[in-house]
Chain A
Amino acid sequence: MHKKSKALIAITAALAISFMALSANAEYPQKPINVIVPYGAGGDSDLTTRVWADAVEKLIGNPIVVINKAGGGGVVGTAFVARSKNDGYTLINAGLGNMLVTPNFSKTPYDFDTFTPIVKMTSVPFAVAVKSDSPFKTFDEFVAAAKASELTQGSYGAASSGTILANIVADHMGYKPRYVHSNTTAESMVSLIGGHIDSAMSFPPAFGPHVKSGRARVLVLNQKMDEYPGVPTLKDYGIQESLEGWSGIFAPKGVPEEVVTKLIEATKKVMKDPKVLQAYKNMGAIVDFRYGEDWIKDMKVTYDGMKIAADKMKK
């Protein structure tokens, strides 16, 4: 009897230890996951990531820590993750700027292929906005005036994603704006409302509140949005390229398949949570949940398009 119970304890202990060892090998995640946002706190990229991290954290029961590593137009934070271990515990908030545009325009120690895309949460369509008392009522009027004389347009840096998109549109329509570069689209909206610039390239989170309060007008959008009925899209003007900013999560290349599937599965559930959807809507972003091969292929097409645009601009 005595011997028996001892043996039982030994067996249970051995089993328990082997289970623990097994789980240590298999179960991701075992420790807090860091998500690097390569921009300052409070911007669109930061907020979309924080909402995602908060919801996924609750679902998988493991802390997800959002760290802002701003600087160099997103290069500093992105390069940091490119150099990090590909164990799934360091992730990056990816977007049009740091993944598709900057590697083509500036010397970066990484490019699109340095990362494994995991999910895309949201997108924001490109738009051209003017002040509400501006003489340009429609995009056609604006284009006509911009062709006749050089108009100023707010953007955020000569090599930024904003200017690239604005240039693609300007090239198509045959005008050439004089860019006034602020740090963010939110800041260039300030200059627009203050009457210091003629127009601004912008995204819904930045212009939304101003349009809602009647101080600004959207002339054209990349994609139809319920909030802005009657605004023509760039497709109506024959521009087919994907002109949108977006926010997603990437990991350094070679991250275990298990990490990718686990995060995709978690995000699938999170993207059905009405609270999360409402939070994104409140920010002015379009929920655009994507993952998998098709999505990566589409991004690659945009990446190559940006390369051509970059070469054109450098000349």
Chain B
Amino acid sequence: MIENIVGGFSSILAVGPITGIIVGIIVGIIFGAIPGISCIMAIAIILPLTFYVDPIVGIPMLLAVYKAGIYGGSISAILINTPGAAAAFLTAQDGFSLTKAGKSGKALSMALYASVTGEMLSTLVLIFVAAPISLISIKAGPIERVFLLIFAFTVIGSLSSESIPRGLLSCVLGMLFALVGMSPITGASRFTFGFTELLGGFTFTPMLIGILVMPEVIKALRQRNTPHQNLTLTKSSNPADNRISWKEYRSVFGTIIKSSGIGTFIGSLPGLGSSPAAFLAYGEAKRSSPNPEEFGKGSIRGIAAAESANNAVCGASLIPMLTLSIPGDDVAALMMGAFLIQGITPGPTIFYEHTHVIYTIFAGYFITDFFLLFIARIGFKFWTKVASVPKYYIFPCVTIFAFAGSFTANQDINDVLVLIIFSVLGYGMRLVGLNPAAFIIGFILTPFFEANLDQAIAIVGGNYLLFFSNPFSWIFTALTVLSVYSSMRQRKKAAAMKESVLIKVTES
């Protein structure tokens, strides 16, 4: 195995593959950072180009687009509160708070270091222990995934800072909107009111931008009469505010490791993808954090958790694809297409039949992280400037990107309408105090939950005891209870602290 890895590294360190990786990284960062254009589009566009080049050039390039694209989503999330990819929306919560405080450099650095660390760890797992992990992950069938998803829903507890009932209400609202369209199970149309366009449900990207981003623009519009300095974000002059010190990195290192673990595990389960991984890691990081009240208000731990988890999915989602020919998410499905067309059938035999190719690809996947670190660092100087541009320049640009991005994803004008409708809804939700983040979580998790619940019910037939007949179910039920309990306890503690402060204030 060691000689295979060494051989892989010596093949990847050639002009062709390295150029491919660098091009892939640049394309990935750019596509990932532009809101509404995701890395999957970039991969789909580049895919035919790779049909005619050597697999050790083409496939590392596609993988570089993937890794860089997932990372790129965090840049726009941090700087202009516009998550470029769905998984980055938790990053936006903390990242943009830091940007507002003039610490965009700190947020960007944390996101980059956490991303690269998460990716590296999961790539190492992919290289060394792919086979045993995949055997465990296929044992997690629909029944087990139902319990895992119930656990994922508890992240709402960590996100709804003001009020749990409002968080739950927002989540249910998100679930309701997720049901619109043709049922994937029965084929019946739900809540479409006769519109064919609605059969596919609401398109995710315009909805996400509408709920999370456009309300910020509307809010800024309403502040147009306030003095200009309020609309300009000044960059902190203290250099320590715009970088991550070794000490800070070390203080969140535990979180990064744990989140990477969560990301790797979720990534190796087929069919969940990077968003649930980020939710779980964020919730867990908040639960175990010494100062949970900082989350959502500019916590570097929050950024570290969300970013390392969603990037760890990159490496791990290839595990079921390569070892069992099961694509874990839509990107992995495209990758599998790329492998198949090159004549490499993913599966356990891949390691014997195409030893050299596969280890070269692994080596390329690993060194992509170093190039990403390097290339992204160069970009920082330009990107942090974006954050200090006055809002009255930024927001029109954001609006244009939002509309253009909504249109380009499917080249469908109806998606622009979806953006407008959800912008209004998102602003309305803020006015009445509903939680947009919880809404998005409901929207993202519901299709997974519905599909798995339906499969689980079909599998158990009449014998509902099967739901509780395996350890997975019990472990996740226990984790769910623990998570609900700890978020209740934190809330009590926070309330008690507030009260004691109040008492002190009234006493003095």
Interface residues of chain A, those whose CB is within 8 Å of chain B, are 40-43, 46-47, 50-51, 53-54, 66-73, 75-76, 79-80, 102, 105-109, 150, 152, 157-160, 178-183, 186-187, 189-191, 193-197, 208-210, 212-213, 215, 278-279, 282-284
Contact = CB atoms under 8 A, between A and B. Distances in A.
A266 to B, nearest CB: 17
B271 A187 contact: yes
B54 to A, nearest CB: 14
Interface string B265-284: 00000110000000000000
B196 A75 contact: yes
Given A157-B184, A208-B345, A283-B341, A106 B189 contact: yes
Contacts of A284: 340
B411 A282 contact: no
B186 A42 contact: no
B258 to A, nearest CB: 26
A122 to B, nearest CB: 13
B184 A46 contact: no
A41 B187 contact: no
Given A76-B199, A106-B182, A183-B184, A191 B142 contact: yes
Contacts of B399: none
B341 A76 contact: no
Contacts of A71: 181-182, 199-201
Main secondary structure of the interface of A (DSSP, over half): mixed
A278 B327 CA distance: 22
26 contacts: A40-B333, A41-B40, A41-B333, A42-B334, A73-B182, A106-B182, A106-B189, A108-B196, A109-B196, A152-B458, A157-B184, A157-B185, A158-B185, A181-B185, A181-B458, A183-B184, A186-B326, A187-B270, A191-B141, A197-B459, A209-B346, A212-B347, A212-B349, A215-B324, A282-B341, A282-B342
Contacts of A187: 270-271, 326
B197 interface: yes
A259 B94 CA distance: 54
Given A67-B411, A75-B196, A157-B185, A47 B458 contact: no
A213 B139 contact: no
Interface residues of B, number: 55
Greatest chain B CB density within 10 A among A41, A53, A67, A195 is at A41
Contacts of A210: 324-325, 347
Contact of B410 (A46, A69, A209): A69
Interface of B: 40, 43-44, 47-48, 51, 138-143, 181-182, 184-187, 189, 196-197, 199-201, 270-271, 320, 324-327, 330, 333-337, 340-343, 345-349, 410-412, 451, 454-455, 458-459, 461
A196 B142 CA distance: 8
B342 to A, nearest CB: 8
A76 B197 contact: yes
A107 B412 CA distance: 22
Given A72-B182, A282-B341, A105 B270 contact: no
Contacts of B412: 69, 80
